[in-house]
C-alpha cells in the first residue's frame, strides 16, 4: 500500500479573548498584573514570543487566579516548544474556566503534537461541538490537527469526515483532495478515495502524488489503469526518488517488472545507500532472470541490513539460480537460523541441496517447511519429487496426491503420479493421472507417448493410437513413439502401417547415431585444431561430415582449418555450407 497521511503541519496559534484581565478591585499587584498582561499582548503583536512569555509569567506570579494569564502563558510556551510547561498552564486555565476555547484548542494541539492523541481527541471534539453550537467554523489548522489525532487513534472514517470539511471549504485545493483521498484509502473506502484522487487530478493534472495514489486505488479495486497512473506519476516527478521507488515497487508487485525496472534503477541511482531501493531493484532483476546483475545488489542490501532474512533468502536463491548453490547455502542457512519459521527459507535451502544432489538434506528442509505451511501444494509436490529422486515411490505418492488435492488445476503432480504408477506397472492407476495431466497441459509430447503406452497396455488401442499420433506430431524426431505406434498397429492387424512406423523409427535412430558420431568427431577435430594439428583436424572434421553432412560445427571447423592453410576459396565454401544448414538467428 502506497498511502501515507500527508496532512500538512502548521505552527500552533492561540486566541486571546480579552484585551485586558477581567475587571476586579484593583490592588497594586493586580494593576501590575494587568500592565504585564498588556505588555504580553504587545509583545505578541510584534512576534516577540520570549518577551510575551516573560510578561505572561509575571501575570501568573502576580495574580495566580487570573485564568487568562495561565491560558496565554501556556499558549506561548507551547508555541516555543516547551510542551510540558505549556500543557501544565493550559490545564490550569481550563480547570478555572472550562469554556476557554482558546486554552482548549491550544491544549488539544499540544497533546496532538506530543503524540498524546488519545488525550487530544476529546478536547478537539468538545471544541468542535462548541463551535457548531455558536455557528462558527474552526480554523483549518485545528481541523487538520484533529484529523491527525483521529488517524493516530485509528478513527479513520471520523478523520475523513473532519477533513472533508476542509476540502469543501477550499474546493480548488488539489492537495486537500489528495489528502482526503488518502484518508478514505486508509479506511478502505475505495470508491470515495478514487473520487477524491480524480478530483485532485482534475484540479491539478501535474499532481504526481495524486496519480500515484489513484493507481493504488485502482489496483485495490482490481480495475484497469493502475499501471498507467503509476507511470504518469513517475513521469511527472522524475527527480523524486521516493516517488520513483514507490511507483516502481507498485509496478513490480503488479507483475510489471519490465516497466518497473527503469523506475527502480532511477530510484537506486538517487538512493544508492538505501537498502529498500537496492533490494527492490535486485528483486525485479531476479524476476526478469537477470540473475548475475541482481547478486551484487542483494549483497549491497545485505551489507546495510545484515540480519534481514528475506534478503538472505533471495541472495541464496540467486546463487542457486546461477547453478552456484554451494555459494548460496551459507546465506540460506543464516536465513533459517534468523527466522526458523520462514517456510520459504527452508524451501529455497532444499532447492539448493537438490542442486548439489544432497537429497536427504533437501527432504529434511522440505519437511520443516511443510510443518510451517502444511497446506502448500508446491511444498508437497517438491517433497514428492525429492522422494522420487530417492526411488522411494511409497513416500512420494502420498505427497504428490496431497499436492494434487490441494491444487487440482496443476498438471505436474498428476503427471509425476502417472509416471510413478507406470513405473510400478499399475497401468489402471496411471491412466487417470496421465489423462488429467495431458488435458491440463497438452503440449507435453513425452506425456502423450507415456499415455499411449498405458492405453496400449490396457488394450485401449484406438485411444493409444490417438495419443501416440499426438506425441509424434509434437516430437517428430523421437523414435520411441513411432515404435510404440508400430506395436499398436500390429495389435490392430495393420501390418503395413506398423512396418512404415518401424522404418521411420529405424531411420530416426540411424540419424541420431550419426549425429552423435559427428559430434564426437567434431569435438576431436576442435581439440586438434586448438593444438595446431591442422591436417589431423581436417580429417576429423571430414569424418564428422561423412556421418552427418548437415553438421554445421564440422563445416565451420573445416573452414577454420582451410583459412589457416591459406585455402580461402575452400574456407568460404565451408562457411557458406554452415550458414545454409544453420542460418544465423540475428
The enclosing H or E element of 277 equals helix 275-287
Mean per-residue pLDDT, 288-297: 96
Mean per-residue pLDDT, 554-574: 89
Phi and psi dihedrals of 63, rounded to 5? Answer: -140, 80
pLDDT at residue number 27: 63
pLDDT at residue number 19: 52
pLDDT at residue number 16: 41
pLDDT at 576 over 60: yes
pLDDT at 404 over 70: yes
pLDDT at residue number 12: 43
Residue 10's pLDDT band, with cuts at 50, 70 and 90, is very low
**Average confidence score pLDDT of the chain:** 89
pLDDT at 137 over 60: yes
Mean per-residue pLDDT, 552-558: 91
pLDDT at 475 over 50: yes
pLDDT at residue number 218: 96
All three cell numbers of 162: 473532519
pLDDT at residue number 33: 87
Task: Tell me if domain 1-154 and domain 507-586 are identical in fold.
Answer: yes
Q: Rounded distance, CA 571 to CA 534, Å?
A: 13
Q: pLDDT by residue (tens digit) across 476-495?
A: 888 888 999 889 989 999 99
Q: pLDDT by residue (tens digit) across 242-264?
A: 999 999 999 999 999 999 999 99
Mean per-residue pLDDT, 296-324: 95
HSE-CB at 94 with a 13 A cutoff on CA atoms is: 19
CATH of 1-154, one of 3.30.565.10, 1.20.140.10, 1.50.10.10, 1.25.40.10: 1.25.40.10
Contact 141, 13 (CB under 8 A): yes
Mean per-residue pLDDT, 325-329: 96
Q: Rounded distance, CA 577 to CA 554, Å?
A: 10
* Domain boundaries, given as residue ranges, for the chain: 1-154, 507-586
Q: pLDDT by residue (tens digit) across 23-76?
A: 555 567 888 888 999 999 999 889 999 999 999 999 999 889 888 899 999 999
Per the model's pLDDT, the better-predicted residue between 8 and 503 turns out to be 503
pLDDT at residue number 546: 84
Range 507-586: architecture per CATH? Alpha Horseshoe (1.25)
pLDDT at residue number 142: 87
The neighbour count for residue 195, using CB atoms within 10 Å, is 16
Residues ≥6 apart with Cβ < 8 Å to 114: 83, 87
Write the DSSP symbol of residue 305: S
Mean per-residue pLDDT, 212-237: 96
pLDDT at residue number 261: 96
pLDDT at residue number 586: 38
pLDDT at residue number 1: 52
The neighbour count for residue 298, using CB atoms within 10 Å, is 27
Q: Rounded distance, CA 583 to CA 296, Å?
A: 37
Of 355-359, 369-373, 398-402, 581-585, least confident by mean pLDDT is 581-585
Q: With CA atoms as reference, report the closest residue to 359 among 314, 392, 313.
A: 392
pLDDT at residue number 21: 53
Residue 17's pLDDT band, with cuts at 50, 70 and 90, is very low
pLDDT at residue number 7: 41
Amino acid at each position: 500500500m502506497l498511502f501515507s497521511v500527508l496532512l500538512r503541519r502548521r505552527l500552533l496559534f492561540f486566541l486571546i479573548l480579552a484585551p485586558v484581565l477581567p475587571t476586579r478591585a484593583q490592588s497594586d499587584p493586580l494593576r501590575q498584573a494587568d500592565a504585564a498582561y498588556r505588555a504580553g499582548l504587545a509583545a505578541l503583536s510584534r512576534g516577540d514570543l520570549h518577551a510575551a512569555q516573560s510578561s505572561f509569567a509575571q501575570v501568573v506570579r502576580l495574580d495566580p487566579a487570573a485564568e487568562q494569564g495561565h491560558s496565554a502563558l501556556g499558549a506561548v510556551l507551547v508555541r516555543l516548544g516547551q510542551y510540558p510547561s505549556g500543557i501544565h498552564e493550559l490545564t490550569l486555565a481550563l480547570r478555572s474556566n472550562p469554556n476557554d476555547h482558546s486554552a482548549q484548542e491550544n491544549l488539544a494541539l499540544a497533546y496532538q503534537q506530543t503524540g498524546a492523541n488519545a488525550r487530544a481527541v476529546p478536547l478537539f471534539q468538545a471544541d468542535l461541538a462548541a463551535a457548531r453550537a455558536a455557528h462558527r467554523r474552526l480554523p483549518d489548522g485545528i481541523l487538520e490537527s484533529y484529523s491527525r489525532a483521529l488517524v493516530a487513534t485509528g478513527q479513520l472514517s471520523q478523520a475523513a469526515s473532519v477533513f472533508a470539511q476542509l476540502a469543501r471549504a477550499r474546493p480548488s485545493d488539489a492537495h486537500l483532495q489528495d489528502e482526503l483521498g488518502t484518508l478514505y484509502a486508509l479506511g478502505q473506502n475505495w470508491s470515495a478515495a478514487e473520487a477524491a484522487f480524480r478530483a485532485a487530478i482534475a484540479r491539478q493534472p501535474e499532481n504526481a502524488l495524486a496519480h500515484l495514489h489513484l493507481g493504488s486505488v485502482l489496483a485495490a479495486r482490481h480495475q484497469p489503469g493502475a499501471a498507467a497512473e503509476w507511470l504518469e506519476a513517475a513521469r511527472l516527478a522524475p527527480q523524486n526518488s521516493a516517488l520513483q521507488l514507490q511507483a516502481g515497487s507498485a509496478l513490480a508487485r503488479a507483475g510489471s517488472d519490465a516497466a518497473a525496472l527503469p523506475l527502480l534503477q532511477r530510484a537506486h541511482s538517487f538512493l544508492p545507500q538505501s537498502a529498500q531501493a537496492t533490494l527492490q531493484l535486485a528483486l525485479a532483476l531476479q524476476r526478469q532472470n537477470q540473475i548475475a546483475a541482481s547478486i551484487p545488489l542483494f549483497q549491497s542490501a545485505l551489507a546495510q541490513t545484515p540480519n534481514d532474512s528475506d534478503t538472505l533468502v533471495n541472495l541464496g536463491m540467486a546463487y542457486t539460480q546461477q547453478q552456484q548453490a554451494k555459494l548460496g547455502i551459507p546465506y540460506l542457512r543464516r536465513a533459517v537460523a534468523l527466522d526458523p519459521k520462514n517456510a520459504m527459507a527452508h524451501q529455497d535451502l532444499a532447492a539448493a541441496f537438490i542442486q548439489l544432489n544432497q537429497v536427504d538434506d533437501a527432504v529434511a528442509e522440505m519437511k520443516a517447511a511443510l510443518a510451517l505451511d502444511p497446506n502448500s501444494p508446491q511444498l508437497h509436490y517438491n517433497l514428492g519429487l525429492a522422494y522420487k529422486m530417492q526411488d522411494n515411490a511409497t513416500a512420494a505418492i502420498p505427497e504428490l496426491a496431497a499436492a494434487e488435492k490441494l491444487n487440482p488445476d496443476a498438471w505436474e503432480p498428476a503427471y509425476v503420479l502417472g509416471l510413478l504408477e507406470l513405473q510400478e506397472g499399475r497401468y489402471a492407476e496411471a491412466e487417470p493421472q496421465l489423462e488429467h495431466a495431458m488435458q491440463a497441459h497438452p503440449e507435453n509430447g513425452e506425456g502423450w507417448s507415456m499415455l499411449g503406452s498405458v492405453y496400449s497396455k490396457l488394450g485401449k488401442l484406438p485411444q493409444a493410437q490417438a495419443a501416440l499420433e499426438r506425441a509424434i506430431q509434437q516430437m517428430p524426431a523421437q523414435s520411441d513413439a513411432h515404435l510404440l505406434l508400430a506395436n499398436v498397429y500390429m495389435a490392430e492387424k495393420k501390418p503395413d502401417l506398423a512396418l512404415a512406423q518401424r522404418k521411420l523409427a529405424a531411420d530416426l535412430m540411424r540419424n541420431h547415431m550419426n549425429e552423435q558420431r559427428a559430434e564426437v568427431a567434431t569435438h576431436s577435430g576442435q581439440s586438434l585444431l586448438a593444438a595446431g594439428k591442422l591436417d589431423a583436424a581436417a580429417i576429423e572434421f571430414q569424418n564428422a561430415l561423412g556421418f552427418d553432412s548437415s553438421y554445421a560445427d564440422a563445416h565451420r571447423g573445416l573452414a577454420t582449418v582451410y583459412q589457416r592453410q591459406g585455402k580461402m576459396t575452400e574456407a568460404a565454401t565451408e562457411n557458406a555450407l554452415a550458414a545454409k544448414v544453420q542460418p544465423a538467428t540475428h
